[in-house]
Amino acid sequence: MEDVNTRKNSGATATPVKRQGTTKRAASSGPASERRDHLVKLAAELFARKGFQATTVREIAEEAGILSGSLYHHFDSKETIVDEVLTTFLDDLVGRYRVALEQDGDPRTILSEMVRIGFSTLEPHRAAITVMQNDWSYLRSLPGDRFDYLVRAEDEVERMWVEQIKLGQAAGQLRADVDPKLTYRMIRDTIWVAVRWFRPGGRLNTAGLAEHYITVLFDGVATGERSSHRG
């Protein structure tokens, strides 16, 4: 999910998204749990706007109208809050991809659905995607393995996409002369970078964006006979 490919692929895995560290989650639903969720949303917006590294616990507390000490009643650290933001997004994304892969359908149909799933996250998970774009390298540079789940999740998502692209090539639905991994990464970056310019309420909603992209992806933008130009 990085904006650019600055890390080496560490290998695919089907391991569910897991995070390290302590999370003081309320044991049941109720006012405490609702308050906690509200704090996570406020913090996510600050992380997206200012960056995770630049955002302080004091600023999160001030945004919520509480004292810093009160924030620690719900979370033991700023890292725990960003864990909540990112894993909520990743669990949703990976879970929906898994469901899509379990459906009957040819590779092109499944890939189209995966594109729709990706674009549909731009609104509900806008802050999390922005943090992934801006703070990936910093979070991965922190000591220990707390944020290793980011790599595991991305590797699983890449495996899902590359597998479907290869199946599409084997079925004759996709061109055999394109590199599956490179193709996936170009699709990935198109979807996630859209969070930088997409604004709700515009001419196209996320569903419209997805359908437009699917048309470009599978039908292209050129008319007439296909040609390749190599520099």
- pLDDT tens for 66-115 read 988 889 889 999 999 999 999 999 999 999 999 999 999 999 999 999 99
Q: Smallest Cα–Cα separation from 100: which of 3, 218, 210?
A: 210
Query: What is the spatial distance between Cα 121 and Cα 128, in angstroms, rounded to a whole number?
Result: 10
Asked if the model's pLDDT at residue 25 lies above 60, the reply is no
Least confident among 32-46, 146-160, 176-190: 32-46
Asked if the model's pLDDT at residue 7 lies above 80, the reply is no
Residue type for position 3:
D
Give the pLDDT confidence score for residue 29 in this predicted structure. 54
Can you list the domains of the chain with their CATH numbers?
79-219 (1.10.357.10)
Do the beta carbons of residue 34 and residue 117 sit within 8 Å? no
Q: Is 83 left (phi over 0), alpha (psi -120 to 50) or beta?
A: alpha
Q: Smallest Cα–Cα separation from 106: which of 44, 60, 37, 173?
A: 173
Do the beta carbons of residue 90 and residue 149 sit within 8 Å? yes
- pLDDT tens for 195-229 read 999 988 888 899 999 999 999 999 999 887 665 55
Question: What percent of the chain is modeled with pLDDT above 70?
Answer: 84
Give the pLDDT confidence score for residue 30 in this predicted structure. 67
More confident: 103 or 26: 103
Residue corresponding to tokens 């594109």:
115
Least confident among 27-41, 162-176, 217-231: 217-231
